[in-house]
Amino acid sequence: MAKSSTTFRYDYAQSPPVDQVGIAERAARFTTRSIKTSTKREGLNMVLNMIDLTTLEGADTPRKVQQLCYKAGHLHDAIPGLPHTAAVCVYPPFVKVARKALGNRSPIKIASVATGFPSGHLTLEGKREETKRAVGDGADEVDMVISRGRFLSGDYDYVFDEIAAIKEACGKARLKVILETGELATLDNVRRASDIAIHAGADFIKTSTGKISSAATIPVTLVMLLAIRDYHFKSGNMVGMKPAGGISKSKLALHYLVMVKETLGPEWLSNEWFRFGASSLANDVLMQIAKIESGGAYQSPCYFSQD
């Protein structure tokens, strides 16, 4: 599953330019796709199955993480046949709690943020240490943050080497690399950071920590998907994508699936290659599904558990 880190250096100057106006136009086209009936129902199920159910708060407790783990497998038992989420996403100290709650044979993955999340201001040694401990405690996936300060200062080699080092520390765990696009200022930077992360061995590239106001958007995600597509065309290797933060409505989530399908192809439409990092999206999707199942009546949010 986890592919080995590429060993060759990537020529950062080769990252192609991105035309912001053109990206915005293409992004708008995805949102005019009209997703109806069976496509909508199927899409909503896919969305649920692609969610990394997330809690990343200072006030997190072991009890809350346990609740989250249960919810991941029992989204809304009133409707039979719903999928489970792809993963739960927690801070490193809660990985053990989550592993205990889910057991060893759960299909639900445990993702842990690491490397001094969300700022990334930690020594490289500390980052490796944190990553190894999270994986040792039972994390299947590691969500690291890149050093945006180094990136913006032009020290691309540092960013590349750091990602490669964390990839190594991950062992068999899959690595998601958070670019924190809201701090990267331009789409050209988003593209270059995506290329660096992919070539340094990322299994997934991820937009945001969710901790700053400008999180995942359709244009930013499109730029990252195009980087994945170009890499796939050249190398034959697939890389996953995870937009995170700011996706809380079903309709928007379905537009993301449209974008993935039309940019990368339907092969990416599974939680092996596409994830949503979200906390409140699941309940909105559940409300939409309940509406469809009940023949068109919206139900009160109080019927859906908040964990």
- The residues annotated as belonging to the active site are 143, 206, 242
- Interface positions, 4-33, toward another protein (CB under 8 A): 16-19, 21-23, 25-26, 32-33
38 binds another protein (CB under 8 A): yes
CB atoms within 10 A of CB 139: 28
Q: How far, in Å, CA of 18 to CA of 190, rounded? A: 9
49 binds another protein (CB under 8 A): yes
Q: Count the residues of the shown chain that bind another protein, applying the rule CB under 8 A.
A: 35
| Residue 127 DSSP SS3 | helix
Interface residue with another protein among 13, 14, 36, 172 (CB under 8 A) is 36
Interface residue with another protein among 35, 122, 124, 238 (CB under 8 A) is 35
Do the beta carbons of residue 284 and residue 302 sit within 8 Å?
Answer: no
Nearer to another protein, 113 or 259 (CB): 259
Minimum Å distance from CB 21 to another protein?
A: 7
Do the beta carbons of residue 55 and residue 277 sit within 8 Å?
Answer: no
Q: Work out the burial of residue 33: count CB atoms within 10 Å of its CB; fewer than 13 is exposed, 13-18 middle, 19 or more buried.
A: middle
235 binds another protein (CB under 8 A): no
285 binds another protein (CB under 8 A): no
Nearer to another protein, 197 or 259 (CB): 259
Query: Strand 141-145 to strand 109-114: parallel, antiparallel, or no bridges (unpaired)?
Result: parallel
Nearer to another protein, 61 or 237 (CB): 237
Do the beta carbons of residue 272 and residue 51 sit within 8 Å?
Answer: no
From the list 226, 274, 267, 266, the residue with the least C-alpha distance to 247 is 274
Do the beta carbons of residue 91 and residue 113 sit within 8 Å?
Answer: yes
Q: How far, in Å, CA of 39 to CA of 60, rounded? A: 36
83 binds another protein (CB under 8 A): yes
Nearer to another protein, 83 or 138 (CB): 83
- What residue type is assigned to position 205 of the chain? I
Interface residue with another protein among 10, 15, 43, 274 (CB under 8 A) is 43
State the binding string over 209-228 for another protein (x if CB under 8 A, else -): -----------------x--
257 binds another protein (CB under 8 A): yes
Q: How far, in Å, CA of 20 to CA of 187, rounded? A: 7
Rule CB under 8 A: which residues touch another protein? 16-19, 21-23, 25-26, 32-40, 42-43, 45-46, 49, 83, 226, 233, 257, 261-262, 266-267, 269-272
